[in-house]
Amino acid sequence: MFRSGALRRPRKQNVTTPSEKPQAAAVPLRSTAPRTAVAAVVDGREVDLSEVAPEGAEVRFLTPAEPDGLHVFRHSSAHLLAAAVKDLYPHARYGVGPPITDGYYYDFETAEPFSAEDLARIEKRMKQLVKQRLPFQREILPKEEAIRIFREQGERLKVELVEEKGGEQVSCYRVGQFFDFCEGPHVPHTGVIRALKVLSSSNAYWKGDARGIPMQRIYATSFPDRKQLARHLRRLEEAKRRDHRRIGRLQRLFLILEEAPGQVVWLPAGMGIVNRLLEWMRGKLDRRGYQEIRTPLILNESVWARSGHLDHYRENMYFVEGGDQGYGVKPMNCPGAAMVFRSDVRSFRDLPLRLSEFGLCHRFEPSGVLSGLTRVRAFTQDDAHIYCRLDQVKAEVLDLMDLVAEVYEAFGFSDLQVELSTRPGKSVGTDESWEAAESALLEALTESDATHVLNPGDGAFYGPKIDFHVRDALGRTHQCATIQVDFSQAEAFDLSYATPEGARERPVVIHRAILGSVERFFALLTEHTGGAFPTWLAPIQVAVIPIADRHREAAAALAGRLRDQGFRVDLDDRREKMGYKIRHAEVRRVPFMVVLGDREIASGALSVRTRGRKGARPRSEADFTARLAELVASQAVSP
RNA sequence: GCCCACGUGGCUCAGUGGUAGAGCACUUCCUUGGUAAGGAAGGGGUCACCGGUUCAAUCCCGGUCGUGGGCUCCA
């Protein structure tokens, strides 16, 4: 518990609560707020409902139904979490506790990490505090006073924060016995946090500095009602169910060997999907004037010295020796592409030169960040380098945006978020070229009607870029496609082309990946579809299931006919019950199951079951194959 | 890389200081069955690896490797 001195309220004369201001004759916002409001925006400033709006002020109320309101709600929940932790573990010093996507966390400095039992206790305590409907009370006090209080309480982290961030007057909040440095606003009382769940704990560092103070972070979430919480928890379950590592195991798509951490072993089923995916991409690239190349996996160190990787990327690279020469394993495909460009005399007539490469890149990632197919040490980039003039950038980017949309829509990803990142502090290239490139990107974005977010100063040192984030079936976003302008490569590799006047000029390079890493895209697609791959990609498209031994011959004949038409068919003629085989196919998410028994043989029709749908419908073989062919040809998203 | 947890048959996981179990999967036999698991029998594990403590280690301790979650979305 807090020592008594710390508990004492700051003396009255030091406190300026809004209600004590002269204009306090007016009524607090709360009295006119809708029931679900958690805070208000008065003239653009977020405030507590206990505050009073000045005459004629513009007032808007925030509810958890909107992002800003939910933010306040979760922020208050974080305070509640810290309050519970301080009740139960008085020695835990509290750090920071912001709301995050889907919840909030709070960091504590403790000797011992929190166990699962601790988390359960904390959740229980939080719920007790909710029942008490404790008010969130704002207190404004002088900086020195706040520092004194936190120092008395032994909260050295808070002292540090107040010293760093506090103005002359410092805003703090009290909820029950818990007192925290915080700008607010907050919900009126803990009672509104009706549904909460403590999720997990893990390690973090004070201010994110791995050399700094280790902290124990507790993740939790909260909602204004239990239904929403239940829905969220169901979604978490669903995410687990769709985990590409689980499905990869179940459907025998890929392996990751202990002997080769961070690298993927593609099994036949997964390899087939990847191959079909890449063939499909190749078709698109052909039509858009790309020329595919393949460059060496390992290149002499001199190349990496020239490209700058040796200076800036060394710790992420693998090196090998051959003879007395040192070689670097490529972490990116750019130098190879640059050498292809340089291998011939280029003229302005050759531009834009679009060189694509499905290049296998190796990057030494720290062991702690590896994860399934999403964070690996070896991956295939669906890369391309477009060599063009600065004035061609816009047209190329427009074409790329079109390609990105086309590719992602084909898999049912309709929600693409676009980010434009501009020149960072440290960068190469002239002011004029940056300006031209940035405006080319911006114009392309505008013309393609893409709503985008601006990330000023977040571009690469060699040029501005556009990143794409896709939203999957569970509402999670993933960074995939990227378009980057590069002013550095042409210089580093002395690339040039002949202008109409016969002069030599440096081309601008556009790097771009559409799928990003093929491995990561595969993971995304697996989780997005829950393993129910669209028919054109599915490892097995049809499971042919004979009912009894006497139907095996007809089933084999049918399977043969389907295979002759190019379909991928599994003939399940094991001596098992039909229901068992149906289940087998359903679990593997085979798009179609065709059951063959006496009835089918007599009628000549097929009984076709579609995955995920109970029962079967009769269909003529011709209809069925026509339907299959159509699904494949159109690359239908479902089934 | 750092912190925490975990590593037991192909998979999911139980378990104990006295050289190990379940379900699924697999094999064989019986069953010939109408849209998500028929029955029986059987095979399969140096309990991740290396070292230590102990009469005895899968279990306790240390190390290594691997896996998982996390490592600021800034009061």
Of the listed ranges A195-199, A297-301, A456-460, the least confidently predicted one is A456-460
A577 CB neighbours strand B below 7 A: yes
Percentage of chain A with pLDDT > 90? 56
Which residue is catalytic, options A172, A182, A334, A388? A334
Backbone angles phi, psi at A195, to 5 degrees: -135, 120
Mean pLDDT of A113-133: 88
Does an H or E element contain A231, and which?
helix A226-242
Q: Any residues with CB less than 8 A from the CB of A393 and at least 6 apart, and which? A: A436, A437, A440, A441, A444, A485, A508, A510
Whole-number Å distance between alpha carbons of A466 and A421 = 6
Nucleotides of B under 7 A from a protein CB: 1-5, 11-12, 25, 30-38, 65-75
Of the listed ranges A112-126, A287-301, A485-499, the least confidently predicted one is A112-126
Q: Which residue's alpha carbon is at the shortest distance from the C1' of B69? A: A202
Of chain A, the end-to-end C-alpha distance in Å amounts to: 59
**Mean pLDDT across chain A:** 89
Would you say residue A7 has pLDDT above 60?
no
Mean pLDDT of A597-610: 94
Residue A455's pLDDT band (cuts 50, 70, 90): confident
User: What token pair was written down for A471?
Assistant: 């939203």
pLDDT of residue A26: 63
Whole-number Å distance between alpha carbons of A411 and A276 = 14
pLDDT digits 0-9 by tens, A217-268? 999 999 998 999 998 888 888 888 999 999 999 999 999 998 899 999 999 9
pLDDT of residue A637: 87
Q: How far is CA A387 from CA A239, A508, A512, in A?
A: 41, 6, 11
Whole-number Å distance between alpha carbons of A149 and A3 = 11
Cis peptide before A500 (omega within 30 of 0): no
Signed CA dihedral, A125, A127, A132, A135: sign only:
positive
CA dihedral A582, A586, A590, A595 (to 10 degrees): 20
Q: Whose C1' is closest to the CA of A595: which nucleotide?
A: B35
Instruction: State the Cα angle at A535 between A531 and A537, rounded to 5°.
Output: 70
Residue A205's pLDDT band (cuts 50, 70, 90): confident
Whole-number Å distance between alpha carbons of A633 and A541 = 13
Backbone angles phi, psi at A147, to 5 degrees: -60, -40
Which residue is catalytic, options A87, A107, A118, A383? A383
Whole-number Å distance between alpha carbons of A254 and A462 = 36
Name the more confident of A248 and A14.
A248
Q: Whose C1' is closest to the CA of A170: which nucleotide?
A: B75
A100 CB neighbours strand B below 7 A: yes
CA dihedral A598, A602, A605, A607 (to 10 degrees): -10
Q: Which residue has the tokens 């996507």?
A: A101
> Of the candidates A473, A478, A460, which has an alpha carbon nearest to the alpha carbon of residue A423?
A460
SS3 A277: helix
Name the more confident of A161 and A271.
A271
Mean pLDDT of A165-169: 81
Q: Does the interface ipTM go beyond 0.90?
A: yes
Instruction: State the Cα angle at A618 between A613 and A622, rounded to 5°.
Output: 110
Q: How many Å separate Cα A458 from the centre of its chain?
A: 18
Cβ < 7 Å from strand B, A residues 217-256: 217, 219, 245, 249, 256
Instruction: State the Cα angle at A326 between A321 and A332, rounded to 5°.
Output: 100
Signed CA dihedral, A480, A508, A420, A447: sign only:
negative
pLDDT of residue A17: 42
Whole-number Å distance between alpha carbons of A29 and A23 = 13
pLDDT of residue A474: 82
pLDDT of residue A24: 45
Tally of CA atoms within 13 A in the half-sphere of A251 that contains its CB: 30
β-strands A617-619, A606-610: how paired?
Answer: antiparallel
pLDDT of residue A9: 32
pLDDT of residue A472: 86
Amino acid in position A223: F
Contact, A467 vs A521, CB < 8 A? no
pLDDT digits 0-9 by tens, A347-401? 999 999 999 999 999 999 988 889 999 999 999 999 999 999 999 999 999 999 9
SS3 A171: strand
Amino acid in position A21: K
Would you say residue A502 has pLDDT above 60?
yes
Q: How many Å separate Cα A31 from the centre of its chain?
A: 41
What 8-state DSSP symbol labels residue A346? Answer: -
> Is residue A182 flagged as an active site residue?
no
Of the listed ranges A6-15, A541-550, A582-591, the least confidently predicted one is A6-15
Would you say residue A636 has pLDDT above 80?
yes
Name the more confident of A146 and A210.
A146
What 8-state DSSP symbol labels residue A14? Answer: G
Mean pLDDT of A528-536: 95
Q: Which residue's alpha carbon is at the shortest distance from the C1' of B1? A: A366
Mean pLDDT of A398-409: 93
Q: How many CB atoms lie within 10 A of CB A349?
A: 8
Would you say residue A21 has pLDDT above 70?
no
pLDDT of residue A42: 86
Signed CA dihedral, A186, A191, A195, A200: sign only:
positive
User: What token pair was written down for A224?
Assistant: 């204004």
CA atom of A208 to C1′ atom of B72, Å? 6
pLDDT digits 0-9 by tens, A425-440? 878 888 888 888 898 9
SS3 A439: helix
Q: Any residues with CB less than 8 A from the CB of A112 and at least 6 apart, and which? A: none
Contact, A350 vs A341, CB < 8 A? no
pLDDT digits 0-9 by tens, A63-101? 888 888 999 999 999 999 999 998 888 888 888 889 988
pLDDT of residue A221: 93
Which residue is catalytic, options A363, A423, A551, A589? A363
Q: Any residues with CB less than 8 A from the CB of A561 and at least 6 apart, and which? A: A621
A397 CB neighbours strand B below 7 A: no
